[in-house]
Amino acid sequence: MYRPLTDEQLYKFAPSIFAEEKHGSRSNKYTYIPTIEVVNGLRKEGFQPFLAAQSRARDEIKRNFTKHMIRLRHANQLADKEACEIVLINSHDGTSSYQMMCGIFRFVCQNGMVLGDTVEDIRIPHRGDIIGGVIDAAYSIVDDFDTAQESMETMKSTQLALPEAEAFATAALTLKYDDIEKAPISPVQALSSRRLADKGEDLWTTFSRIQENVIKGGQRGRSVTGRRVSTRPVKSIDNNIKLNKALWVLATQMAALKN
């Protein structure tokens, strides 16, 4: 995650970025520009793609048009413990306009977070000057990077007692499983660290551990029926963004309560 993705790598992870035409369900009012042209426009402005993914298509015919996500960083955001990112989402099958939002990437755990209500999302419809609109939106989000950094620094300076951390973990599990009784892992497991660098009692480190465990899965637990299971990663782009945003809001609310 330290080197930008090449076009070959982008195609490997999200071939719909290179769709050569819009899906047949789109009308003549739909302005079609391949997402790769938008990415190239952002590249010229110093934004490079570092992660790409696309949704699984139930209809194989829609595979080359389905929703995709690209996380980009500017040249001045490449060497630090964390990097602010632009999260770009699009599709060519009518399921998404161009969506731009602010994210933070944490290098030590390879976590890609998405900010909830700290920085406003921007949507660009498929009409008119799409590339220009996306570039303008990118710079609008960059202007809010300081706000994102301030929120992160507040979390780093906020210490949590164990009961507070467990309450945070309980709320996080409820966001994913709706009912804490249905969660295959306990709040203590959600708080567990996967590496030495993640041990800490501050809100930012606690939030990072919980976010990784909830989003990436892979923890051993038990189902409602008592069967041994391994928690599943959140692979859906929509669910990933929704859960990531909810976790961020939860963390900022915890920070507000403590400060």
The residue type found at 13 is F
Report how far residue 15's alpha carbon sits from residue 11's, in angstroms, rounded to the nearest whole number: 4
Beta pairing class for 122-124 and 82-90: unpaired
pLDDT of amino acid 19:
77
Return the domain boundaries, the chain: 7-144, 157-258
Q: How far is CA 29 from CA 19, 39, 151, in A?
A: 18, 22, 40
pLDDT of amino acid 29:
60
Structure confidence by residue, pLDDT tens digits, 171-215: 999 999 988 888 999 999 999 998 888 888 999 999 999 999 999
The residue type found at 101 is M
Element containing residue 114 per DSSP (H, E): strand 111-114
The two tokens of residue 216 are 């990436």
Closest to 35 measured CA to CA, from 21, 46, 25: 21
pLDDT of amino acid 23:
46
pLDDT of amino acid 7:
96
| pLDDT tens across the length of the chain (259 residues) | 578 999 999 999 998 898 776 544 554 665 667 889 889 999 999 999 999 998 876 655 555 668 889 999 987 765 568 889 999 998 876 666 788 999 999 887 777 888 877 788 888 887 778 888 888 999 999 998 999 999 999 999 999 999 999 999 999 999 999 888 889 999 999 999 988 888 889 999 999 999 999 999 999 988 888 889 999 999 889 899 999 999 999 999 999 999 8
pLDDT of amino acid 242:
93
